């Protein structure tokens, strides 16, 4: 599954409980205007944050493509299918997925690399130029984490919905026909619920992603500016406030981190990432009695989510606890045996234990399950390596 919305778990705790979270010990949030620390994140270099115009802007070549391929005589459905073909067909742009490609429309178009956020931005910009009826969709996928060094990132998902124009809708007997523009066939197959979001919320998501990316790069002044921009663009976007709390925690501003987490939770009581990071912060300050009910609640909510157990497997693998990692990956597979990432994790853990036959078996399963060509090529290369290892091993 591919992600768009990056929320950092600064070091994943052992979250192990569904009473309502309304009774959890979360302090009242401060006023949003009091949650900024401008004087703590100064930069000697000039910082440029992309404007809305720069994010969605087309160049002359892109406008010429729209004029040539998405002519006005086509119906909305025909335009949508031509646009999809142009974005993904190997004879045209042939966009490839890159989870770290948080880029503008022009950058995605010319680099041919995008994550689902950047694809949505690019497709929106092109479709808007063609006069199509389009809207942004936030897809309610299960919590899904990606390991990045010492951090775990929670990812979300967005896509674009193309609908018939209002004039055409009046002539459609059986209702609207919609086309989704999306990188991830898994999301379409599962038919997860989704809801429309406004453009300013998508922009906040873009800035939030950029802020998370710069946090991973340890460029804290730039991360701060992106996260501040995200919260200013959509003040109700809980995840950006949560990531601002992560930045404060990493910078040693613990009181402000707690206030940012609390504000994120005041906006979304179900923001489990901010709850988890709050528990981490409380534990670090030896406030164990406050952290414990939060940890218990989070575990109870997440225990039936296979990706949660895969996350625990990733954490155990990172800490070189390979036996424990195998147990977690097996639990994830028990809950959902169709996800290639789980088998890949299992293969890595078996390999670290020198159980090459078991590693190869898990790797074969990962190859069969993945639907992405680039990932499949990587898996096949690793599988071939395992075959060679088995030949030369005693």
Specify whether 201 is located in the same domain as 334.
Answer: no
Assigned domain for 298 exists: no
pLDDT band at 14 (very low <50, low <70, confident <90, very high): very low
pLDDT above 90 (res 3):
no
Give the long-range contacts of residues 389-394, CB within 8 A, separation 24 or more: 389/356, 390/356, 390/357, 390/360, 393/356
Based on the fold, state whether residues 114 and 170 are members of the same structural domain.
yes
- Average pLDDT on 222-247 reads 97
What pLDDT sits at residue 19?
Answer: 35
Residue 294 lies in a domain: no
In a domain, 297, yes or no: no
Q: How far is it, in rounded angstroms, from Cα 123 to Cα 134?
A: 10
pLDDT category at 254 given cuts 50, 70, 90 is very high
3-state helix, strand, coil in the chain (%, to 5): 60, 10, 30
For 44: left if phi > 0, alpha if psi spans -120 to 50, otherwise beta; the answer is: alpha
The domain boundary residue, chosen from 261, 288, 315: 288
pLDDT at position 244: 97
Query: What is the distance between the alpha carbons of residues 118 and 159, in angstroms, rounded to a whole number?
Result: 10
Residue where one domain finishes, among candidates 288, 321, 341: 288
314 and 273 co-located in one domain: no
Question: Helix or strand or coil: residue 177?
Answer: coil
**pLDDT for the residue 243:** 95
Average pLDDT for residues 54-74, to the nearest whole number?
Answer: 93
**78-87, 116-125, 218-227: range with highest mean pLDDT:** 218-227
Domain of residue 313 covers 306-392
The reply to whether 49 falls in a domain is: yes
Residues 40 and 183 in one domain: yes
Pair (94, 149) in one structural domain = yes
Q: Do 211 and 351 fall into the same domain?
A: no
CA dihedral 170, 191, 146, 230 (to 10 degrees): 30
For the stretch 253-258, contacts whose Cβ atoms lie closer than 8 Å and that sit 24 or more positions apart, written own/partner, are 253/37, 253/40, 254/281, 254/284, 254/285, 256/35, 256/37, 257/281, 258/27
Is 72 part of a structural domain of the chain? yes
Predicted pLDDT of residue 151: 72
Question: Structural domain tally of the chain?
Answer: 2
* 119 within some domain: yes
The pLDDT tens digits of the residues spanning 115-172 come to 889 999 999 999 999 999 999 999 887 776 666 666 767 778 888 888 875 444 433 3
Which residue among 235, 261, 288 closes a domain? 288
386 belongs to a structural domain: yes
Report the CATH number that the domain containing residue 200 is assigned in CATH.
1.25.40.10
Same-domain status, 117 and 244: yes
Residues 133 and 276 reside in one and the same domain: yes
In this structure, are 69 and 158 located in the same domain? yes
Contact between 141 and 131 (Cβ < 8 Å): no
Count of all residues that appear for the chain in the document:
394
pLDDT tens digit sequence for 26-48: 555 567 889 999 999 999 999 99
In the chain, pLDDT over 90 holds for what percent of residues?
55
Same domain for 276 and 340, yes or no, is: no
- Asked whether the beta carbons of 372 and 97 are under 8 A apart, the reply is yes
Task: Indicate if 314 and 263 belong to the same structural domain.
Answer: no
Q: Which residue has the higher pLDDT, 165 or 69?
A: 69
Q: Per the domain annotation, does 295 fall within a domain?
A: no
Same domain, 154 and 230: yes
Q: Is the pLDDT of residue 382 over 90?
A: no
The CA-to-CA distance between both ends of the chain, in Å, stands at 38
């Amino acid at each position: 599954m591919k992600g768009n919305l990056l929320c950092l778990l600064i070091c994943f705790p052992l979250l192990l409980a569904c009473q309502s979270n309304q009774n959890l010990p979360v302090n009242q949030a401060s006023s949003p205007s009091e949650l900024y620390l401008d004087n703590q994140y100064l930069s000697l270099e000039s910082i440029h944050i992309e404007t809305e115009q720069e994010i969605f802007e087309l160049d002359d070549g892109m406008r010429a493509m729209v004029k040539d391929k998405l002519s006005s005589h086509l119906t909305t459905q025909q335009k949508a299918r031509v646009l999809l073909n142009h974005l993904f067909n190997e004879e045209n742009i042939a966009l490839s997925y890159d989870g770290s490609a948080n880029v503008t429309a022009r950058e995605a178009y010319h680099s041919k690399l995008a994550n689902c956020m950047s694809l949505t931005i690019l497709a929106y910009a092109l479709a808007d130029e063609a006069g199509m009826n389009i809207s942004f969709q936030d897809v309610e996928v299960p919590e899904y984490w990606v390991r990045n060094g010492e951090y775990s990132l929670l990812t979300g998902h967005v896509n674009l919905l193309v609908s018939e124009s209002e004039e055409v809708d009046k002539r459609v007997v059986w209702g609207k026909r919609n086309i989704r523009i999306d990188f991830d066939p898994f999301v379409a197959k599962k038919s997860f619920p989704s809801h429309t979001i406004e453009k300013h919320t998508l922009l906040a998501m873009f800035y939030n992603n950029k802020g998370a990316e710069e946090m991973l790069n340890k460029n804290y002044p730039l991360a701060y500016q992106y996260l501040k921009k995200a919260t200013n663009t959509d003040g109700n976007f809980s995840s950006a406030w949560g990531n601002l709390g992560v930045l404060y925690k990493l910078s040693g501003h613990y009181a402000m981190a707690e206030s940012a987490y609390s504000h994120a939770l005041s906006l979304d009581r179900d923001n489990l990432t901010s709850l988890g990071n709050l528990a981490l912060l409380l534990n670090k300050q030896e406030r164990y009695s406050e952290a414990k009910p939060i940890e218990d609640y989070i575990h109870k909510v997440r225990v039936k989510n296979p990706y949660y157990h895969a996350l625990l497997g990733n954490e155990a693998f990172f800490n070189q606890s390979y036996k424990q990692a195998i147990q977690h990956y097996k639990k994830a597979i028990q809950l959902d045996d169709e996800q290639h990432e789980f088998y890949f994790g299992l293969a890595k853990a078996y390999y670290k234990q020198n159980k090459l036959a078991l590693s190869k078996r898990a790797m074969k399963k990962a190859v069969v399950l993945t639907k992405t060509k680039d990932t499949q090529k990587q898996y096949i290369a690793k599988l071939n390596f395992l075959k060679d290892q088995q030949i030369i091993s005693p």
